[in-house]
Chains A and B, each alone.
Chain A
């Protein structure tokens, strides 16, 4: 683990997963890899939090899971965003934007 890694703020894990899945169905490992790549290695999702989060999202009906075949022909579980998941992503993205801009305002005012 490098020093440049960031701790994920509370509640952002769901947002990251939903956002990643909005690009298309993915299995768990691909989700964590993608988040790591896109964030230029600054964010890394531990398996210990990834899978419970996926199961939680599935329970809430924001994602559905299907068994599929991965690129090297192995059975893998693919998660896909549902319609209510998409709405949830929009709502969460919106509130995240408002939160960060508000925090930025406070920090910038000094």
Chain B
């Protein structure tokens, strides 16, 4: 009974404390009035009666507090009350609350969002069981490259001979035209060894994967990706056993992989594949000893085998290979799959993390500043409350709860912001970031954010809370509410915080400036051709219908004629790869009369096969000699080649390059047939312009097989070509025409990557545009926060010094003087911050070097520009408080005190 009523009372106390507080007030007031009445009845005057009653009464708030305690206020209720009190306090100053919450949301949201990306890409394990046991193998060819993929025959040797792995799986991308599954389309497929799925440790969602027997016997079986199964077979349950055509050959579907499954990519990017077919190396591929290092290899370490032991085993197998190919010096290296996957993304992620930490620091400094200003402004209020008997402990608790509440609201807003940002990022981030599909806010991220919230709240809330709790009651109550000493030291602390904020913001502005300058440089860079008014598309002719190079060439030249007949079309050309798109093969060409100095390594160039009209279509300038033309396409014509200016300069030096000869391979003394240089053309950028650029060579496509002499037949038919159409008008208007012409020529052919050359260029700029954009917005946020900081300090100091300003004005200072003094204060704060930030930038920008393009980390214009931006912003932030200071009316201000 007693326990029950006790509980009921406590619950009532908890939920109706406001009403109960009101009751308590009424009750105590009634008592007080009765007391006054009594004294009056005893003959005291009204005034004296009240004084006596008040004396007898003691501290009212103390009594109220004791009553609350007696009523059994648990921790819960007092927290509840403090929370509600804090909410009311925040409501009273919405400006402060909004700024603080915004500051926190930006800090916490940014950290959480970027950490989510970093976590998904860098920290989260690969989506395979025991992914740390997966390794990739790379072969090197002395003087040429250290880490390429493997040649096809070597994949087989490693599968057969190695002992350290549970399985060794080869893989190579291949596109197929898919027919018999809705509209014809070009599928991104991958040929993989039968060992691939067991090595990765992933089972199919339905059906099965390949057997070794199917792999070795070129069985026409395919495993679908989840996405393809849903899109093209509408997720049908009986898809297994159905057939469809890949490059006109019927394939049987034997399985579907689970959602989100993806095979490891080769070096660099992760692609998504539509389907997988058995590797089934052709006799031609198997014969390519020490050539075409294009086959990726992933393997799983046997239990108990260390990386070192596995590498030793791989080197043992290499000796077996080396024994067969005596003229090449091969090497083998091995890396963890994970290490390779994240390698490219690392500099970007580090930069983003760094930027976000800076933002968080600025946000914390800003919050501390806001709370300090607020605490200083409330000293008088605290003084009054202490004088009325409030316990220091209670007030500390209230301040702490207030800052925790702010942190919680800011944290919640931040998490919302992070969720939105993560959602947005997974769509906008460049595809070169691996595991993009995996990005989502996760528990570790949420925990980290929660930790940040609490740490921020306690750190920023405690300092001002302690400072104000120390405040002496009398000091606080003294006229004006400010004790000079305390005010000055607090002011110094706040100025230091503002300077720190400015310095951190300076760092970010410099970083963003460097990236912006790099981006501008990239945009200014001439790619070596004219990308405007050009439409491109990728056409891949299936070997079944186009078995010879003649058939392929015939198709392309008749297509060119038909497209050329379209009004407005100026030129139609073909090439085996497009510039900027890293779409070239790396080959070595030995130049006549060039003696490689001792110790100099071979140079690989970007090699393309082109038709006679490619250069006109791209408008690549001719420097010397002539473009390859129709003469070179005649059967039996002498072998010719065009080289880029950089190649000519490098290998022919002062000699006239036209008429000189080059050969495929690393050594001119080999048995390859010589090709005559007929022309020197301007350099283009085979890779995105901010990357390394190899020199270029162009061989007429009609001569492709002959150029390679004895091994010419090995490369087979070059049937995958890019069409390049230059038009006088809008290239996009030509898209329909081109597709129609292709389908009229061959209805089974898929037109893929239909895009203008400007779109190609823009997509290669996308990663840099993204980096630049992100860092610039971070810098903008940082700057905004820092300016809020400066503004806060100045605005408060103007309020604080209204009296002083008034006295100055009364003593003859002009409004201009006053305005200038405040503005000067702001500029000085800004300048000190800029100086500190500049010093820090000089030490830190070198870590950005790998993200820069043609801009030095210590770029003087960037540093100067950043300093100017910050100082100007500081002056702007100081302008409003300065105006307010100048508007102080001396007489009013002095009278109101």
Contact = CB atoms under 8 A, between A and B. Distances in A.
Interface stretch (A3-11, A17-25, A73-81, A96-104): A73-81
Contact of B30 (A48, A56, A75): A75
A10 to B, nearest CB: 16
A76 B28 CA distance: 10
A1 B224 CA distance: 97
Given A27-B30, A46-B58, A51 B67 contact: yes
Contacts of A59: 5-6, 9-10, 70-72
Contacts of B71: 55-56, 58-59
B9 A48 contact: no
Contact of B67 (A27, A55, A61, A67): A55
A48 B5 contact: no
Interface in B611-639: none
Given A51-B63, A59-B10, A75 B26 contact: yes
B27 A77 contact: yes
Interface string B401-436: 000000000000000000000000000000000000
B484 interface: no
Contacts of B62: 48
B70 A77 contact: no
B68 to A, nearest CB: 8
Contact of B57 (A33, A47, A75): A47
Given A47-B63, A61-B6, A77-B30, A52 B35 contact: no
B46 interface: no
Contact of A84 (B1, B10, B28, B72): B1
A68 B101 CA distance: 47
B56 interface: yes
A47 B69 CA distance: 15
A60 B31 CA distance: 23
B854 interface: no
B23 interface: yes
Interface in A66-108: 67, 70, 74-77, 84
Contact of B70 (A52, A61, A70): A52
A31 to B, nearest CB: 10
A1 B6 CA distance: 36
Contacts of A28: 27, 30-31
B228 to A, nearest CB: 70
B478 interface: no
A60 B63 contact: no
A74 B56 CA distance: 22
Contacts of A58: 9, 71
Contact of A51 (B5, B9, B27, B38): B27
A60 B6 contact: yes
* Most B CB within 10 A of own CB, among A47, A67, A70, A74: A47
Nearest to B62: A48
Nearest to B68: A55
B2 interface: yes
Given A48-B62, A48-B63, A61 B35 contact: no
Contacts of B58: 46-48
Nearest to A61: B5
Contact of B66 (A48, A70, A74, A75): A48
B34 interface: yes
Interface string B370-383: 00000000000000
Given A59-B10, A59-B72, A61-B6, A52 B31 contact: no
A29 B23 contact: no
Looking at chain A, what size class is its interface with the partner chain? Answer: 20 to 34
B6 to A, nearest CB: 6
A29 B2 contact: no
Contact residues of A: prevailing secondary structure: helix
Interface in B1-44: 1-2, 5-6, 9-10, 23-24, 26-28, 30-31, 33-35, 38
Interface residues of B, number: 29
A84 B2 contact: yes
A17 to B, nearest CB: 12
A53 interface: yes
A29 B63 contact: no
Nearest to B28: A51
A62 to B, nearest CB: 8
A27 B28 CA distance: 11
A56 B5 CA distance: 12
A58 B71 CA distance: 8
B22 to A, nearest CB: 11
A33 B167 CA distance: 96
B56 A47 contact: yes
Nearest to A58: B9
Contacts of B72: 59
Contacts of A70: 30
B67 A76 contact: no
B33 to A, nearest CB: 8
A46 B66 CA distance: 13
A76 B2 CA distance: 26
B26 A56 contact: no
B23 A61 contact: no
A61 B72 CA distance: 13
A100 B635 CA distance: 133
A60 B70 contact: no
Contacts of A47: 28, 31, 56-58, 63
Given A58-B9, A61-B1, A52 B30 contact: no
A75 B62 CA distance: 23
A43 B37 CA distance: 21
Nearest to B64: A51
Nearest to B56: A47
Contacts of B38: 33
A55 to B, nearest CB: 4
A60 B56 CA distance: 28
Interface string B714-745: 00000000000000000000000000000000
B7 to A, nearest CB: 10
Contacts of A53: 70
A58 B70 CA distance: 9
A70 B34 CA distance: 10
Contacts of A56: 70-71
B432 to A, nearest CB: 67
A52 B57 contact: no
Given A46-B58, A58-B9, A77 B26 contact: yes
B26 to A, nearest CB: 7
A76 B70 contact: no
Contacts of A75: 26, 30
Contacts of B28: 47, 51
A33 B34 CA distance: 10
A48 B60 CA distance: 8
B31 A55 contact: no
A43 to B, nearest CB: 15
A75 B26 CA distance: 8
Interface in B66-123: 66-67, 69-72
Contacts of B35: 29
Interface string B806-820: 000000000000000
Given A28-B31, A47-B56, A77 B1 contact: no
28 contacts: A27-B30, A28-B30, A28-B31, A29-B31, A46-B56, A47-B57, A47-B58, A47-B63, A48-B59, A48-B62, A48-B63, A51-B28, A51-B63, A52-B63, A52-B66, A52-B69, A53-B70, A55-B67, A55-B70, A55-B71, A56-B70, A58-B9, A60-B2, A60-B6, A61-B9, A75-B30, A77-B26, A77-B30
Interface of A: 27-29, 33, 46-48, 51-53, 55-56, 58-61, 67, 70, 74-77, 84
Given A28-B27, A59-B72, 19 more contacts: A29-B31, A46-B58, A48-B59, A51-B27, A51-B28, A51-B63, A51-B67, A55-B67, A56-B70, A58-B9, A59-B10, A59-B70, A60-B2, A67-B23, A74-B30, A75-B30, A76-B30, A77-B27, A84-B1
8 shortest A-B CB distances, which residue pairs? A61-B5, A52-B70, A29-B34, A55-B70, A52-B66, A56-B70, A55-B71, A48-B58
